[in-house]
Amino acid sequence: MVWIKKECAVLPSEITDERVFNGRRRFIQAAGIISSVSMAPQIFAGTRDTGKVLRYDGKVDHSQIPPGWLVKKLNAAKPGVYSTNEQATPYEYITQYNNFYEFGSDKGDPAANGKDFNSDPWSVVISGEAEITGKIALEDILKPHDLEERIYRLRCVEAWSMVVPWIGFPLADLIKRFKPTSDAKFVRFETLYDPKQMPGQRSRFTSIDYPYVEGLRIDEAVNELAFIAVGVYGNSLPPQNGAPLRLVIPWKYGFKSIKSIAKITFTKKRPRTTWEKAGPREYGFYANVNPEVDHPRWSQATERRLPSSLFSPNRIETIAFNGYGPQVAYLYADMDLKRYF
């Protein structure tokens, strides 16, 4: 496997041609998709027969009580059209097995060290190539949007996975409100920088350049699957899962789904993202789930579906684009996905 380091400047081949964008049904042109799609389980089963949002009624293991207006919106959430016939991962695993290095590097650190994280009040700064910019309070961000539940597969680059019932709304609906200009080719996201609340950001041993930065091409950001989550299992997001709002990009590895978003910037040039800077040969900008492109230190052909154990690893085959090829493969039909990993 040959790994090629990408340059920071955007290449012409990285911008999806408008004809390709409008011709999404031609997704089968993307390399390796034919066999992967034929193997895919029934990812989308439509609204579940119960017509009810999955909720967790046990003890929520974090100290902050969400504001009343948010509880009201979460309680009014409806089942969305995107679901799955796969069993949802238990709440305890979703909230106790996390990567959120701002709170520590071990899987249990985010839950342990984020219990007292204060995300109320919260605001997001909008900047860059858009007609509407400024600092917007969380309540104003959510006010125009009806919330829905989407049950998505989550595939980590570390080769483990979950099935998560998120509550939120389409990222495209949020982006349209800010009216990005024709110069906006990418969307840059930034996590809150608050070393007082986030011990990982003040650690002397961290290899991460904070604040955490992620990015998407504008056409990826307005794809129908891209999602802003504010809840999980019918409740508000715990700190370890990215309170109070995070990105969910289900066809990409989990590190692309940035948590605790504090800033959104529309840019002309491709942003250089956090893990790309930390390890450019290991973590690419696109980070599309691809069983044909191994991580330099392990295979991506299979994944360990949680819950699992040493004696019951629950290992399954990984599917291209995490099984969402019919919705997203057209975005990359003109790209070498082994080079632009």
**With a cut of 50, which residues of the chain have pLDDT below it?**
1-42, 45-47
State the burial class of residue 131 (Cβ atoms within 10 Å of its Cβ: 0-12, 13-18, 19+). exposed
What pLDDT sits at residue 62? Answer: 79
What pLDDT sits at residue 108? Answer: 97
Domains, the chain, in order of start with CATH, read 52-281 (3.90.420.10)
**Residue ranges with strand state E in the chain:** 78-79, 123-128, 134-137, 148-155, 160-170, 186-191, 213-217, 227-232, 235-236, 246-248, 261-267, 302-305, 315-317
Identify which of 285, 233, 236, 241 has the alpha carbon closest to the alpha carbon of residue 260.
Answer: 241
Q: Are 6 and 284 in contact (CB under 8 A)?
A: yes
Return left, alpha or beta for 259; rule: phi > 0 is left, psi -120 to 50 is alpha, else beta: beta
What pLDDT sits at residue 48? Answer: 54
Place of tokens 């529309």: 266
What pLDDT sits at residue 37? Answer: 39
Cα–Cα distance for residue pair 300/291, rounded to 1 Å: 5
What pLDDT sits at residue 10? Answer: 35
pLDDT digits (tens, 9 = 90+) for 67-110: 999 999 999 999 999 999 999 999 999 999 999 999 999 999 99
Q: Are 213 and 274 in contact (CB under 8 A)?
A: yes
Q: Are 121 and 138 in contact (CB under 8 A)?
A: yes
What pLDDT sits at residue 21? Answer: 36
Cα–Cα distance for residue pair 285/294, rounded to 1 Å: 15
Q: Are 217 and 15 in contact (CB under 8 A)?
A: yes
For the CA atoms of 110, 164, 66, 137, the dihedral, rounded to the nearest 10 degrees, stands at 90
pLDDT digits (tens, 9 = 90+) for 199-235: 999 998 888 999 999 999 999 999 999 999 999 999 9
